Structure 1
C-alpha cells in the first residue's frame, strides 16, 4: 500500500507524519531547532535549520520503515504562517527568516495602514499586524538596504522546503493570504500593494492551490533516501488552514476550537465574507474556500502561567482536580487572559490580564475555575463575532488541544459556547492535513470529503450543553465582557509606566 508524508514545519520543531493511503498512521518522526533572538522583540531562524530537521526526519523514516522508499507516493506540507524568507538569484538565503512572532515591525504596520487606509482591508480582508509578512519586508527595506538589494525571491517557510525538495518556487493561497500581499477576491498578488511599497511582483513565488503539484522530488534527494524518483510534491497549506482540514473543517455546520499556547476559533467560509477586520480571513486548503479565524493570544499560555505562578509543583490534573466543585461563574471571580496583550476582538498589545472580584472566601479551586472560564469566554468572543456578523449557527464544535483531554473543560466549553462539543480520536495537528492533501493529490480519493472520511475520526462520546449552566454563563459572560473596558486604561498606563522604568 502506498504512503503519503505530511511535513509540519513548526516554530520550534519539524514533524513528519507517515500514513498509508487508507488513512492509517504508520509512524511519526520529529526534529527540533532553535529560535534566535538577537535583540528584544526579534525572533529569527536560519532556513538551513529546517533543512537539517527534514533530513533527520527522512533518515529516521527510511531506517524505521523498511518499504518507505519503495512505497512513498507523495509529500505535502503545513507550515508556520507569515514568516519571511528572502533568497538571492541562486535561491540561497541572504538573511535569517523573520518569524511570525517577531514584533520589531510596529512602525511598518503604521506605515502600511497610513499609506493604504481602507484599501488594505478591501484587498486582503485583514489589517496590518506585526506578525504578517509585508511589515517584515518593509523593515528589511528600511533597515537592511544592502540585503534587500540582493533579494531575488521571497518565500514562506514551508515553501522553502518544497524548493529544496523540487527546485521549484511556489506558494499556495492559504499561506499567500497571510502575507498582506494577496488580493483575495482576484486570487493574485496585488499589484497595487506591491507598487505602493516598491516590491517587484517577479520576486513573489508563483501561486497554486494547496492541492497543486509543485514538482517531483529531486533525483539526488531520491537517491540519498532510496526513494522513487516519481514521488510527487504538493504545495500544502499554512498551519492553521492545514489544521482545519485535518480536523474535518470542510463545511459550515462545524467550527473549530483550538486551545494551544494561543487559542483559535475557526469557521469554514464557502465564499468571501467581510468581517471588517474583526477576524482574520484567509484562503482554506480546500480549493475555492476560505476560513475565518479569531485568536486569543494566551489560552494555554494563561493556564501554564497560572500553574507556574500559583501551583508550582502540582500537575495539571492536581491543579484542576476540584474545579467541578465550583459552580459556573466561580462564585463571582473573573479572570481576563490578557497576560501578553490580546488579538481578537481588541487588537490591543497593551492590555494586561486581571482577576476581578477576589473575595476572602475564594480558594485555589475558584481561581483555577476562573482561569479556565476566562480563557473560554475569550474564545467565545470570536465565535460571537462569527454569529452576529454572518449569522453562523454551528451544529457542533470540534475541540482540540490540551483542553480536549479534560472532561471538566469540555463540559465548560459546551456550556459557555452553548453547542455540542466533539473530539478527535487521535490528534495529529496540521501534519495530518498535509497528509490528506498529498493523498488527494496522488489520486487516492476523488474529493477532499472522501479523504476526510478516511483520515479524520471522532470519539463517540460528546459533551452537550446543560441548560441551567448555559443560562448562568450567559449572565456571567455579559459581566466578563465589561472587564476589558474597565481595565484597559489602567493597563495602558501601567505598561507605559513600566517601560519608562
Structure 2
C-alpha cells in the first residue's frame, strides 16, 4: 500500500469513530464523537439515524484525507432502520439492546427446528428479540402503516453507505441469522414474515467496492462495503489467524475465536466461512454499559471509577454482581434477565461495589468464552484484546485473573476502525488478503498476566456466578412483573 492511506469508519453503539491510517499502520488523523441513545419504558431503545450520517460527514470534514485511496465501513448490527425508497427513515432506529420484540421472537424461534438451524448456520443460533425477522414482524404487527411504507430494512453501515453513494447494499456476515453457510439469504427464514424477502438489501462482498462517494472531500473515492463491528473488530484484533482467541470491550463484551472446527454449541454464533476465516462469536449484552451505569449512578467519572477499583482489594465485603441490566445475549440469550448484587453487608463500601461491577462483567465474558471454546475446539493461553474498555489497567488485571489467560492489548484502541481500514485496504487492492493487512497494521502495546494468588478465588467466584445466574433469573423476572403492575 505504498504512499497510500485508507479510512476506517465505525458507526458504534455510542459514537462514530474514524481514523486515517497509512501503509505502516500509523494513525495520521482520527475522529470520535458520541450521539444519544433514547431508552424508553417497555424495553424500547432507539437512535436517530441522521446522527450517524451527520457525524460521518463531520469526520470526513475534520480529518486529514490527503492521499486516501479507499474508505471502509463497519457498524453496530441488529440495529435496524425502516426506510422508504428514498432512504428516509420512517422510525427511529431500533437498537440491538431493544427488547420489544421478545415475545414475537419466541414465537418465530419455535417455528424453526434445531436441524434446520444446523443445516443453515452450523450452530443452533436462536432467533431473539434483536433478530431482523423479529423486528420486522413486530413492526408489521404494531405499525402496519410504517411496514407498508418500508422499502428497505437497513443496518447502520448500510444506511450510511446509501447516503454516501446512493447504492443499497449489505453483506452476508452482517446478515447473520438471515443467510446460510453459502452466504445467501435463507428464504425459509425470511418467509416467516410476509414481505420480509422484498425488504432486505442485495448482498455484496465484505471487501467489495459498492460505489463511489458522491460528494465531499472524498468524492470519487471507492467505499468498501465492510461488515458488522464484531467481525471487523475481531479480525482487526487478530482474528484473521486461525486458532486465535479475541476479546472486544465496548458497550458490551464480545468474545471470539477463529477456528475451522465447528462443534454445535448452544448460545454461540458461528459466522459463515469468509475467505478462509471462520469466526465463532459470543456477544454479551453489557460491558462498558454496566460500568457507565454504575459511574453515573454514583456521581463518578469513568477514570475515577477505575482509580477507585485500583485502590480496593477483594475482601469479604466484596459482593457478587450479575451484570444483566438489560437482559443477556451470549450464551444465555434471555432478554428478561436482570442484574443483581449478592452478598452485600454493612462493610460493603462504594469501592467494593465498583470492583464487583468489574468482576461481574469479566465473569460474563468468561461464561461466553467457555461456550466458544466448546464450539471452536480451541483453548488459548493468550487472548488478543481491543476496544475502549481496555483503557483501565485495573479492569484489565481483573479480566486476566478471571479468564486465567494472558491479555495482549491492541495499540490502536478502536479495533472496529482498524478492521474497517483493513477491509478497505484489501478492497482497494493494496493488500492481497486480510492476513497481510493484519500483519501490516496491527500492533500490541500492553500485556496483563493472571495473578497466581487470585486463582482459587476467581475459580470459586465464577462457579458461584454461574449458579447465581441460574437461581436468580426467575426471581428477577418476577420482580419486574410485580413492579410493572
Aligned equivalent of 2:370, options 381, 384, 396: 384
Question: Which region of structure 1 is more displaced relative to structure 2, 358-367 or 258-267?
Answer: 358-367
Superposition deviation, residue 127 in structure 1? 0.8
Superposition deviation, residue 87 in structure 1? 3.7
Return 5+ residue gaps in structure 2 as ranges.
Answer: none
In structure 2, the residue matched to 1:172 is 171
Please give the secondary structure, in 2, of the residue aligned with 1:258: strand
Please give the secondary structure, in 2, of the residue aligned with 1:27: strand
What is the rounded CA distance, in whole Å, between the counterparts of 1:326 and 1:92 in structure 2? 52
In structure 2, the residue matched to 1:477 is 462
Aligned equivalent of 2:268, options 272, 279, 299: 279
2:363 maps to 1:374: no
2:148 maps to 1:152: no
CA distances 1:327-356 after superposition (whole Å, capped 9, x unpaired): 6xx577433223333333333334333333
Where do 1:312-323 residues align within 5 Å?
Answer: 312=300, 315-323=304-312
Question: Which region of structure 1 is more displaced relative to structure 2, 136-145 or 42-51?
Answer: 42-51
Q: Give the 3 Å change call, closer, same or farther, for CA 470–241 of structure 1 in structure 2.
A: same
CA distances 1:15-54 after superposition (whole Å, capped 9, x unpaired): 3311123322111234544445676433334443333222
What is the rounded CA distance, in whole Å, between the counterparts of 1:12 and 1:467 in structure 2? 36
2:330 maps to 1:344: yes
Is the CA contact (8 Å cut-off) linking 1:253 and 1:396 kept in structure 2?
no
Superposition deviation, residue 190 in structure 1? 0.8
Q: Max radius of gyration: which structure?
A: 1
What is the rounded CA distance, in whole Å, between the counterparts of 2:18 and 2:298 in structure 1? 36
Superposition deviation, residue 157 in structure 1? 1.8
Q: Give the 3 Å change call, closer, same or farther, for CA 156–388 of structure 1 in structure 2.
A: closer
Q: Give the 3 Å change call, closer, same or farther, for CA 107–367 of structure 1 in structure 2.
A: closer
2:69 maps to 1:81: no
In structure 2, the residue matched to 1:293 is 281
Superposition deviation, residue 273 in structure 1? 4.8
Aligned equivalent of 2:442, options 442, 445, 456: 456
Please give the secondary structure, in 1, of the residue aligned with 2:96: coil
Is the CA contact (8 Å cut-off) linking 2:306 and 2:394 kept in structure 1?
no
Where do 1:406-421 residues align within 5 Å?
Answer: 406-421=392-407
Superposition deviation, residue 392 in structure 1? 1.6
Q: Give the 3 Å change call, closer, same or farther, for CA 47–115 of structure 1 in structure 2.
A: same
Where do 1:82-481 residues align within 5 Å?
Answer: 82-118=78-114, 121-122=117-118, 123-124=120-121, 125=123, 126-177=125-176, 180-183=177-180, 185-199=181-195, 201-218=197-214, 221=215, 224-225=216-217, 227=218, 229=220, 231-270=221-260, 273-276=263-266, 278-283=267-272, 287-309=275-297, 312=300, 315-323=304-312, 325-326=313-314, 333-401=319-387, 404-459=390-445, 461-481=446-466
2:3 maps to 1:5: no
Question: Which region of structure 1 is more displaced relative to structure 2, 426-435 or 34-43?
Answer: 34-43
Please give the secondary structure, in 1, of the residue aligned with 2:173: helix
User: Taking structure 2 as the reference length, what is the TM-score of the superposition?
Assistant: 0.88
Is the CA contact (8 Å cut-off) linking 1:272 and 1:290 kept in structure 2?
no
Provide the alpha-carbon RMSD of the alignment: 2.8
Return 5+ residue gaps in structure 1 as ranges.
Answer: none
Is the CA contact (8 Å cut-off) linking 1:31 and 1:56 kept in structure 2?
no
User: Taking structure 1 as the reference length, what is the TM-score of the superposition?
Assistant: 0.86
Superposition deviation, residue 435 in structure 1? 0.8
Superposition deviation, residue 433 in structure 1? 0.9
Please give the secondary structure, in 1, of the residue aligned with 2:6: strand
CA distances 1:139-198 after superposition (whole Å, capped 9, x unpaired): 222223333233333332211222223332221122111xx3212x23211111222322
Superposition deviation, residue 430 in structure 1? 1.0
What is the rounded CA distance, in whole Å, between the counterparts of 2:283 and 2:447 in structure 1? 24
Please give the secondary structure, in 1, of the residue aligned with 2:337: coil
What is the rounded CA distance, in whole Å, between the counterparts of 1:74 and 1:176 in structure 2? 23
What is the rounded CA distance, in whole Å, between the counterparts of 1:397 and 1:27 in structure 2? 28
Please give the secondary structure, in 1, of the residue aligned with 2:203: strand
What is the rounded CA distance, in whole Å, between the counterparts of 1:359 and 1:348 in structure 2? 29
Q: Give the 3 Å change call, closer, same or farther, for CA 423–40 of structure 1 in structure 2.
A: same
Superposition deviation, residue 387 in structure 1? 2.5
Question: Which region of structure 1 is more displaced relative to structure 2, 28-37 or 252-261?
Answer: 28-37
Is the CA contact (8 Å cut-off) linking 1:249 and 1:256 kept in structure 2?
yes
